[in-house]
Amino acid sequence: MLHRGDMRALLPEDGGDYDVLVAGAGPAGFGAALAASRLGARTLLLEARGFPGGIAATSLWMPMNRLFKDGTSRGGVHELLVRRLQRFGPAACRPGKVTWTDGDGLHVHPEYLKEAMLELLEEARCSYRLYSPVVDAEVEEGTLRAVYAATPEGRQRFTARVFIDCTGDGALSFAAGAKTAVGREGDGRTMPITLGFALGNVDEERLFAFYDQKNTELSLSDVVDRGREKGYLMSNWYSFDRTTVPGVVSVNNGGLPGEDGALNALHPADRTFAHRAGLRLALDFVQLAHELPIPGLEHCALLETGASVGVRETRRVRCDYVVTLEDAKNGARFPDVVARRYGAVDQAGLSDGEGERPAMQSGYDFPYRALLVSGLEGLLVAGRCGSYTHMGLAAGKSMGNMMAIGQAAGAAAACACALERTPRALHYKEVQIALTVLGAVL
């Protein structure tokens, strides 16, 4: 049973001082905070939403890919999370897809995911606070000293020896004055913003036979074309995922037609429009499914849309090394490897103007230098706001990979605190040893 008194030490009511402060509790932030705490650092995790999990918690059973490696454990924080989810039983998770982009993962019930993450953080004695977006930073002589979180009572100041930006939008790094880039080089367009939704009363076997193009005269492209002819708002693409609830499927999509990356999720108006249009898109899809009808969806009902839009790309923070598409293509190997990125290049439908999707060598190295924010001491960055080119971000952007990069940042932060050095003054082998202590498989 939960008692407020028992939790008080983990839930700061005002500002405080910590060894490590992590901003953002998505897969990368969770990995960072859990890793730092398990290595003995006094750690605080601040999250803007009312729950951890990021896109995995908001997008309704969207696959958490690359939690495994070829079906085996990736160790470290991945294994801890997977074991906790599996302990809840089949209501919590089920095996994910096995495709060029979706693989080695799980479909996870978002509520069980939140519970699993919070339990693991609490057991590691990691302090955390929800409803606490980081909105400003305090830099002194090139070193990040403090951050400010917004609350209904006003801003609160938190200090730490090492900070980790896992906000997705690079909010902490931007506030600290780091160099950032937005979107595709040349035109600034970003991967699509989408609102996922879940459907109930679905004949799953018939739907997935249709989706996999087995014994059906109707195709998914036909659905999109016919919907547009009827005047419905249709996405550029749709994908379906099984869930942990019988008769319920999760629907991902590729954003709005004609936008092709023009919406910028850093702009509140654009993000608001994407959410508004995403709601209409979900309603129109259900109506169309009844009219055509789509196999397996003849009697479907809309259960809910995601808690927020899914944002695939905004700011990317410049670090001492920038990960590129060429690294992925060439299967880059670095002596300072601290994580690996598995999977494929996936721009979620944004055209790159080159025709076929480029291939990557799954399992290429992510170097320690790509965690160290250029021009600033005491700040690391992990997750989708990390140090990549646009196509470098697309090359292996699955949640399990982001969790691995977050884990590396958390290990480095804890190591820096233990050795009383800045993260940049560490030798990469010290970080690799810390990851070994966590049980991470490199």
Q: DSSP E strands: which ranges in 132-212?
A: 134-140, 143-149, 156-165, 180-182, 197-200
Instruction: Write the pLDDT tens digit of every residue in 71-100.
Output: 999 999 999 999 999 999 999 999 999 988
- Which helix H or strand E contains 116, and what residues bound it? helix 110-123
Q: CA 35 → CA 22, 80, 137, 351, 379, distances in Å?
A: 11, 11, 23, 37, 16
- What confidence tier does 159 reach under pLDDT thresholds 50, 70, 90? very high
- What confidence tier does 363 reach under pLDDT thresholds 50, 70, 90? very high
Least confident residue range of 59-63, 82-86, 88-92, 338-342: 59-63
For each of the domains in the chain, give its residue range(s) and CATH number, in order of start: 4-186+313-438 (3.50.50.60), 197-305 (no CATH)
Helices 399-419 and 76-87: crossing angle, nearest 10°?
A: 120
Name the token pair of 72.
């085996």
CB atoms within 10 A of CB 152: 5
- What pLDDT is recorded for position 5? 77
Q: Is the peptide bond before 90 cis (omega within 30 degrees of 0)?
A: no
Q: Is the peptide bond before 293 cis (omega within 30 degrees of 0)?
A: yes
Name the token pair of 49.
């939403």
**What percentage of residues in the chain have a pLDDT greater than 70?**
98
- What pLDDT is recorded for position 1? 63
- The span from the CA of 385 to the CA of 393, in Å, is 9
| Per-residue DSSP letter, 363 | T
Is the per-residue pLDDT at 153 higher than 80? yes
